[in-house]
Amino acid sequence: MTDMEPASLENLCVLYHSANYIVVNKHWDIRIDSKMWYEKQTVQSQLKLRFPDLVDPGTYYGFRFCHQLDFSTSGALCVALSKAAAGNAYRCFKDRLVTKAYLALLRGTVEKETMTLNFAIGKNIAEGKTHMMCIDGTEDCENPKPSQTELKVLEYGTYDGEPVTKVLLQPLTGRTHQLRVHCSAVGHPIVGDYTYSLGKDNSPYRMMLHAYNLRIPLPKEPIHVTAPDPFLPHIDTKWVPERLMKTLEGALEHLLDWCKEEESKPPDETSLVDEKISSPEETEEQRAQCQQWLSEWSLD
């Protein structure tokens, strides 16, 4: 199956598999899970079909996801195969030790080659937009929380004749729709993002956002996985690169080196995120995530 074809239950790309974890390359048009009876095609269903012996009957869906990816986002997605494994992964996420890097095609020409996006993100409570998030200062933006994303320009080019920029994105916080909202906030929405273009960007076959690299420094089983770059001209001929600014390999190596330096510093010296963002206390959001990942889901 090529990247441009719709997802199917049979086509599950496994990037990493051990006794404790599976990392898959999630397709771009499939939900992780769903309680809707009519939604048969999910990553959970793919896992059950491929690994029936690994289904955990003590959970609602059968598998525990260590993090989330939107329906339209592709790429590396980690699944824990036991409650203990989920707990170990959760601690890495809680302590902000996990490194995630995304690839995206953005509308327009991003002039600054490196940017730090620092827009607080909240829930949009405006009528007709309650499925969306928004930045602080926007009308009807409820309870905005500090959010930070690092952006590095890789290439300039065109998509279907229109100017676009290929970038590497590193979220330093984990807000809902963070990368989509941040890119939109600087005037460069992600190509094919129907929601944050208010329904205008509907011609591309997918949203061009991909979870490219995932690094979870588990003490006994460090995971470092790359999901192949889908934004290449031989995969999608509408994407035409014109000017290379930074190789993907070089940008990723620089990012990982920086993260390793941060990890080696004493806790009070790390600058991974602004002090107002990083907190030693577990937040309600983190507790909710923990309960979601670790709970023995019931069928009610």
CA 72 to chain centre: 10
Length of the chain: 300
* The residue to which tokens 């949203």 are assigned: 207
Which residue stretches of the chain are H helix? 43-50, 83-94, 178-185, 248-264, 284-294
- Alpha-carbon gap, residue 150 to 38, rounded angstroms: 38
- Give dist(CA 180, CA 137) in Å, integer: 17
Q: Catalytic site residue 95?
A: no
The residue type of 25 is N
Q: Which amino acid is at 72?
A: S
Could you say which DSSP state residue 269 is in?
A: G
Of the residues 3, 33, 56, 70, which is catalytic? 70
Q: 3-state SS of 62-117?
A: CCEECCCCCCCCEEEEEEECCHHHHHHHHHHHHCCCCEEEEEEEEECCCCCCEEEE
Backbone phi, then psi, for 9, in 5-degree steps? -60, -35
Whose CA is closest to 74, among 25, 39, 31? 25
Active site residues: 70
